Chain A
Amino acid sequence: MDLGGSSRYSPCVYYDAPALQEFVRWLAATSASHWLQSVSSQAPVLLASVQTLHLLGMSVVIAANGFMAIGLLGGLRGRDALACLSRRAVPWVMGALAVMLVTGLILIVRWPQRILLSQAFLPKLVLVADGMALLIYTARRVHGKPGIKVGSPAATALALLLLLVWTGAVIAGRWIPFA
């Protein structure tokens, strides 16, 4: 009995958007998409490597945001731990998002229908944009004057929002093949 894995992949529920469907048809017919399809069947390691890079970028983003939230809740030891983290987190997250953007585009060209027509794709993009804006806002609040007090209601609310938005982004991303 195989209850999980690829057998659960169901056909996408397509958006009722003719322009998007037309774009997807055009993208799937491009030579770039055909080339990626042939590369991934002849050298699957390359495609798995692109997905690995995407996941590594996500690891940086999730860990940085997770520790920001933990710091806001007072879970990091050290006097200026949160300030140090927030100073360094944003550039690392920006770099990781750039990696995710490039690898994500490659995956879209490889599977335009599966990704672009999935109902989970747009929510994922919105949540990633929200999460990034929230991270930048949090970093500014940490360094602003009078700053934000660790463990205060405002800090707790920001921490919970960070956790909620990025958890939602990961769930939406994982939901793409299922939706």
Chain B
Amino acid sequence: MTLADIAQALRAMQDWPVVQSVGQSAYGFPLLDAAHILFQAFVVGSIAALDLRLLGYAFVHRPVSELVRQILPWTWAAFAGASVTGGVLFILNVVKFVDNRAFLIKMVLMLLAGANMLAFHNGPYRNVDAWDLQMPPPRAARIAGALSLALWLGVVFFGRYLWYPWSNMAGF
């Protein structure tokens, strides 16, 4: 399968009835966009709370493991909502996004944020019992928190930037 085949398949998705109805409705697109922003805001805000705890700046009297158990299930639920709404937004704008470098950078940053989270859960979080309330948290945990904050900041920035006419990065 070539890139042209993928692009053709993506364009064909625009003919799906559900996509057509959202795209042609006066309210469909703004509502979908608002839902995507709402889910994304919840994801970023909740992850930032955990990151700030890992950096030792917020919720310092709460055990890290307790915060992770409280926050992450809801973060995943919101991430699912953001993925579904973002997927439909992508299909609606496939011609605009398919060769949009800001969009590609956003996707890469999200993958890196996911890899950082995996590394944290398979690294310092494995022995969280040993540092659950330790201040400051271990260096590896602080690095994971700082990286996560920076990556999600980038996701929000490029998520905003990709809508502009200059999102082919000519402005950089």
Decide if A and B are genuine partners: yes
Contact surface of A with B, Cβ cutoff 8 Å: 1-6, 8, 43-45, 48-49, 51-52, 55-56, 58-64, 66-67, 70, 75-78, 81, 84, 88, 92, 167, 170-171, 173-175, 178
Q: Say which residue of B70, B78, B96, B157 sits within 8 Å of A48 (CB atoms).
A: B157
Residues of B within 8 A of A58 (CB): 37, 41
Q: Is the CB of B48 closer than 8 A to any CB of chain A?
A: yes
Whether the Cβ atoms of A171 and B34 lie closer than 8 Å is yes
14 contacts between A and B (CB under 8 A): A1-B95, A3-B19, A3-B20, A4-B92, A5-B92, A6-B163, A45-B172, A49-B157, A55-B41, A56-B48, A62-B45, A63-B44, A171-B30, A173-B34
Name which residue of chain B comes closest to A178, CB basis. B30
Given the complex, which residues of A lie within 8 Å of B20, measured CB to CB?
A: 3
Chain B nearest CB: distance from A54 CB in Å?
A: 9
Q: Distance in Å from the Cβ of A29 to the closest Cβ of chain B?
A: 25
A174: min CB distance to chain B, Å: 4
Size of the chain B interface, CB-CB below 8 angstroms: 48
Also in contact, A88 and B46, with CB within 8 A (given A52-B160, A55-B160, A56-B156) = no
Contact B93 A3 (CB under 8 A): yes
Complex interface residues of chain B between 27 and 63 (CB less than 8 A to chain A):
29-31, 33-34, 37-38, 40-42, 44-46, 48-49, 58-59, 61-62
| Beta-carbon contact of B37 and A174 below 8 Å | yes
Given contacts A3-B14, A55-B44, A76-B70, 8 further A-B contacts (CB under 8 A): A1-B11, A55-B41, A55-B156, A55-B160, A61-B45, A84-B59, A171-B30, A171-B38
Question: Across the interface, do B89 and A67 meet the contact criterion of CB distance under 8 Å?
Answer: no
CA distance in complex: A45, B22 (Å)? 31
Q: Is the CB of A56 within 8 A of B153?
A: yes
- The answer, yes or no, to whether B76 is at the interface (CB within 8 Å) is no
| Cα of A49 to Cα of B156 in the assembled complex, Å | 10
Inter-chain CA distance A175–B35, complex, in Å, is: 12
> Are A6 and B165 CB-contacts (below 8 A) given A60-B48, A70-B74, A174-B34?
yes
A6 to B70, CA, bound (A): 38
Instruction: Assess A170 versus B37: contact at CB under 8 Å? Given A44-B171, A55-B156, A178-B30.
Output: yes
Contact present for A66 and B42 (CB under 8 Å) = yes
Report A-chain residues with C-beta under 8 Å of the C-beta of B156: 52, 55-56, 59
A63 touches B157 (CB 8 A): no
CB pair B23 A4 closer than 8 Å = yes
A9 to B71, CA, bound (A): 36
Whole-angstrom distance between the Cβ of A167 and the nearest chain B Cβ: 6
The reply on B24 being an interface residue by CB < 8 A is yes
- Asked if A84 and B30 sit within 8 Å, CB to CB, the answer is no
Residue B69 at the chain A interface, CB threshold 8 Å: yes
B153 nearest CB across to chain A (Å): 7
Provided the pairs A3-B92, A62-B45 are in contact, do residues A45 and B171 lie with their beta carbons within 8 angstroms? yes
